[in-house]
Structure formats: C-alpha cells, structure tokens
Structure 1
C-alpha cells in the first residue's frame, strides 16, 4: 500500500467532512424560518391578550437553546462540539440530538442494508442473464421496461404498496416498526413483528435499487462478453458454466463493488420518503419531522450522519477494492 496516498486520502476525507459540516451549519443557521413559528401554531391565541409579546418571549427562550451572537464563534463552537460527539439538543423535545439519532439509526440501517443486499445479489444475477440475451426481443422489452421503472420516484412505489397491500387487502400494517402488543427485546414475537412491519419499507427500497443493479450488471456483462480473454476461453473449450461464473460474472461485478458500498450512504436520503410514508421510526422520519418543526440542531445532526456515511463508504470502497481485483493496487497514481 502506498502510505503517502493513504495519508492524502484520509486528509481529503477529513476536509470533505469539515467542509460539509460548515456548509450544513451555514444553510440552517441563516435560514429565515424560525422554530417559534411551528410552536406558535399549537398555542390558542384567545388565551393570550398580547400575542406579539408572547411571540417575542418565545423567540428569546428559543435563542437560549440555539446558539446566537457572533456567527464565527457559533460556527467554531458547533464544529468543536460536533467533533466531540455533541450535536446539541433538540429544540422541540429538548433531548440530545445524538440520543435521538442513536435511537433512529438502527431502524434505518436495518431496512437500508437489507434492501441493498437483497437487490444487489438478485440484480447481478438477473442483469447477467439479461446481458446474455443482448439484441433479442426479450432484452429490448426488459431494458425499456426497466428504464421506465427506474424513472419512477421512490415515493410512488411506497404509496402504491401501502395503498394496495395495507389499505385495500390489509396484508401488511400501515406503519410503525413493531406491534404495540409485543414486548421489545430479543424474543421471537418481537423479532417477527419487526420483520412484519419492515417488509413493505424493505420491499420499496429493494424494487428501486434492483432496477439499477440489473441495468448496470447487464451493461457490464455485455462489455465483458466482447473481451478477448472470453473469446479465447470459448475457443479453448472451457466449460460454459466456468466462463459464466469465473470469466464473465467476476469481471462484470467488480465495477459494481464501489457503487454497492457508496449506495448504502446514499440510500439514507431515499429512506426519507419511505420512512415518512410508512411512519417508520428511522433517521429519514426524524429528518422530516425536524424539517417540519424547524428543529435546527436535529436537522444538522441528521445531515452530518448522511454526509459522513457517503464519504466513509467511498473511502472503504477505495481501500478494499484491491482485495477483489489484484490488478488494482491501492494508492497507484
């Protein structure tokens, strides 16, 4: 391994995280919207004779929870606290943001990682088979259909699935992470309830990711089929199954490895719509609720988690790719 390259790569990761933290802080810190506007809608104006004064006092109270004063000092304090794991307190619930994220993150990781792994391994098999059918009518119809399905927004799939399978046929629940009638813990009823409630969110994310993996694997398979070493193996009399698995499949899947690792980070953004639709208590749902209520600290905390997930995923892909493909040496210019 080239250690100079590794140092430069780690330095770029640190700089990227630092810059994104600063940008996220600036966008939210200087937002014209106030969380006081959200809180005021729950107060009955008839109960207060002096609403403007009440509003002003509410803003003063919120300013004690949210940093104010010199923007430069605020930025330095926020970055320092963030690097030490202190993401502040939620303006709405007055609970540490790190605690809110720690509760929501496992639920999001469960549906995101599960859906990506299922869609990836199923997608590479279907994509490889489709690549062998290149130029046929089946390939043309399948490719056009998959391209159309890929253009459909993720929330459309979520709405259709919950409407058909939950509201019409009542096969699956309409929301939640588990039934209120089971006791949380490592027991069979709770695990079964979690899987039952997570089925539709996982299915939604799987459908969206599956289409992309099939199309990418199809394109890679067609490219590898035209390589000289494949033609030489066929002429040499190598068995078709060996050519399909070791020569074509292995080489066609390599370019998808980086996408697999990075997609875990990017799937956090897609889970926002899914979790909101299914009322799933993950990071995406937490982000939507914090945006709706203008809860600045929680917004910034979730943004940072998503950003770090993508950046770290990219770093892991770079460091581990050479283990799958010995031809690619880590740190080579």
Structure 2
C-alpha cells in the first residue's frame, strides 16, 4: 500500500467531513429559518402584555441563538461539539439530537442493509445469466423491461405496495416498526412482529436496488466474456461451469463491490421516501418530520450522518478493493 496515497486519502476524508460540519453550522446559524427565527414567528407580543418581563427574557434568550460574537469561534465550537457527539437539542422535543438519531438509526440500517444484501446476491446471479444470453430475444425484452422499471421513482413503488397490500387487501400493516401488542425485547413475538412490519419497506428497497444490480452485472458479464483469457479458457477445453464461476463470475462481480459499499451510504437518502410512506421510525422518517417542523438541529444532524456514511463508504471501498482484486494496488499511481 502506498503510504503517501493513504495519507492523502485520509486527509481528503477529514477535510470532507470538516466541510460538511462547517456548512451545516452556517445553515443553522445564518438561515432565515433558523431555530430562533422559527420560534419568534409564533410569538405574539400582545399575549405577553400582562407579563412584559417574561417576554423580555424570552426575546433575550432567542437572541442568544442568533449569530453573535466571533463567527470563527462559534464555528469551532460547533465542530468540536459535533465531533464529540453533541449535535444540539431538538427544537420540537427538547431531546438531544444524537439521542434521536441513535434510536432511529438501527431501524434504517436494518431495512437498508437487508435489502441491499438480498438485491445484490440476487442481482449478480440474474445479471450473470442475462449476460450469457446476450443478443437473444429474452435478453432484449428483459433489458428493456428492467430499464423501464429502473426509471420509476422509489416512492411510486412504495405507494403502490402500501395501497394494494396494506390498505386494500390488509395483508401487511400500514405502518410502524412493530405491533403495540408485543413487548420489545429478544423474544419470538417481537422479532416476528419486526420482520412482519419491515417486509414492505425492505421489499420496496429491494426492487429498486435489484434492477440496478442486474443491469450492472449483465454489462460486466458481457464485457468479461469478450476478454482474451475467457476465449483461451474455452479453447483449452475447460468445463463451462468452471469458466462461468472462476473466470467470468469473479471478474464481473469485482467492480460491483465498490458500488455495494458506496450504496450503503446512498441508500439512506432513498430510505427517506420509503420510511415516510410506511411510517417506519428510521432516520429518513426523522429527517422528513424535522424538515416539516423546521427542526434545524435535527435536520443538520441527520444530514451529517448521511454525508459521513457516504464518505466513509467510499473510503472503505478504496481501502479494501485490493484485497479482492490483487491486480489493483491501493494508491498506485
């Protein structure tokens, strides 16, 4: 591993995370919809006519939330607090933002990681088979159909599934993470209820991800099929199954590894629509609720988590790819 490249790569990650935190501070501090401005629009001075002291103290407190003092010191304090897990307090619930995210994050990770793994392994298998059938009528029809499905927004799938399977036929629940009739904990009724309520969100994310993996794996397989080492293996009389698994499959799947790791970070943004549609208590639902209520500290906290997830995903993909493909040297110029 090239140590100079590693240092530069880690430095770029630190700079990206630092820039993300500073931008979130600027939005929180100077936006016209900042917490102080949001609260003050609901304050009517006439309602405090009998208590002018209370009104004055409230205004003084809200003014402390507005930009004041040296902005560099204020930004440095915000960065320091954020790096130590202090993301401020929610305006609506008066609960630490870090605590809200800690409660919501496991639910999002559950449906995102589960759907990605299911769609990935199904996608590479189906895509590989389509790659072998390149040029056939089946391949043409499948490719066109998959391209159409891929162009459909994720919230359309979510709305259709919840309308048909939840509201119309009542096969699955319309929302929530588990039933109110079970006791949370490591017990079979609770686990079954969690899986039952998570089926539609996971299924929706799986459909969208699956189409992408199939098309990518098909394209990679077709590319590898044209390589000289595959033609040489076929001429040498090596069995077809061995060629498909060791020569084609392994080489076609390598480029998808990077996409898989990065997709975990980007899937947080896709889960926003799904969680909102199914009323699933994850990070996406928390973000939508904070946006609609102008809860800026919570918004910025969730945005930071999503962006950091993408940045870290890219870093992990860069550092680990060479272990899967010895031909790729990390940091090689």
Establish whether TM, by shorter chain, passes 0.5.
yes
CA distance in 1, matches of 2:32, 2:44: 24
- Measured after TM superposition, the shift of residue 49 of structure 1 is 7.5
Contact 1:40 1:55 in 2 (8 A): no
How far is 1:29 from its partner?
2.8
CA contact (8 A) 2:266 2:310 kept: yes
| Equivalent pair of 1:38/1:293 in contact (CA under 8 Å) | no
Please list the CA deviations of residues 224-266 of structure 1 after superposition, one character each: whole Å capped at 9, or x if unmatched.
Answer: 0000000010111111111111100000000000000000000
What does 1:181-192 align with in structure 2 at a 5 Å threshold? 181-192=181-192
- Map Cα deviations across residues 282-317 of structure 1 (whole Å, 9 max, x no partner): 001111111111111111111111111111111111
Residues 126, 232 of structure 1: CA spacing in aligned structure 2 closer, same or farther, 3 A cutoff?
same
- Indicate the larger mover: 44-53 or 158-167: 44-53
Contact 1:221 1:252 in 2 (8 A): yes
Distance 1:39 1:120, change over 3 A: same
Aligned residues: 333
The TM-score, its normalising length taken from structure 2, stands at 0.93
Q: Aligned pair in 2 of structure 1 residues 193, 58: CA closer, same or farther (>3 Å)?
A: farther
Residues 20 and 233 of structure 1: is their aligned pair in 2 closer, same or farther, counting only changes over 3 Å?
Answer: same
Counterpart for residue 269 of structure 1: 269
CA distance in 2, matches of 1:30, 1:153: 33
Q: Cα offset for 1:158?
A: 0.5
- The alpha carbon displacement at 1:331 in A equals 1.8
Give the root-mean-square deviation of aligned CA atoms: 2.6
- Verify the 8 A CA contact 2:45 2:55 in the aligned structure 1: no
Contact 2:30–2:67 under 8 Å retained in 1: no
Q: C-alpha deviations, 1:257-278, integer Å up to 9, x for none?
A: 0000000000000000000011
Q: Say if 2:36 and 2:65, in contact at 8 Å, map to a contact too.
A: no
1:83-102 alignment runs, 5 A limit: 83-102=83-102
Distance 1:244 1:103, change over 3 A: same
1:43 aligns to what SS in structure 2?
Answer: coil
Distance in 2, matches of 1:222 and 1:83, equals 46
Deviation at 1:31, TM superposition (A): 2.0
Distance in 1, matches of 2:200 and 2:149, equals 18
Asked if structure 1 preserves the Cα contact closer than 8 Å seen for 2:107 and 2:281, the reply is: yes
| Counterparts of 1:43 and 1:122, CA distance in 2 | 55
Q: Bigger shift: 24-33 or 54-63?
A: 54-63
1:196-220 CA distances to partner (integer Å, 9 max, x unpaired)?
0000000010001001000000000
Name stretches of at least 5 consecutive residues in structure 1 with no aligned partner. Answer: none
Deviates most, 68-77 or 155-164: 68-77
* Residue-by-residue CA offset, 1:74-103 (whole Å, 9 max, x unaligned): 222111111111111111111111111110
Higher mean displacement: 25-34 or 292-301: 25-34
Q: Deviations over 1:25-59 (max 9, x none)?
A: 22343222255786689999998889999999766
Q: Are 1:62 and 1:91, in contact at CA under 8 Å, matched by a contact in 2? A: no
Answer whether contact 1:36 1:58 (CA < 8 A) is retained. no
Residue 128 of structure 2 corresponds to 128
Instruction: Please give the per-residue CA displacement for 1:5-43, whole angstroms capped at 9, x wherever unaligned.
Output: 211111111011111221222234322225578668999
Q: Deviations over 1:118-140 (max 9, x none)?
A: 00000000100111111111111
TM-score relative to the length of structure 1: 0.93
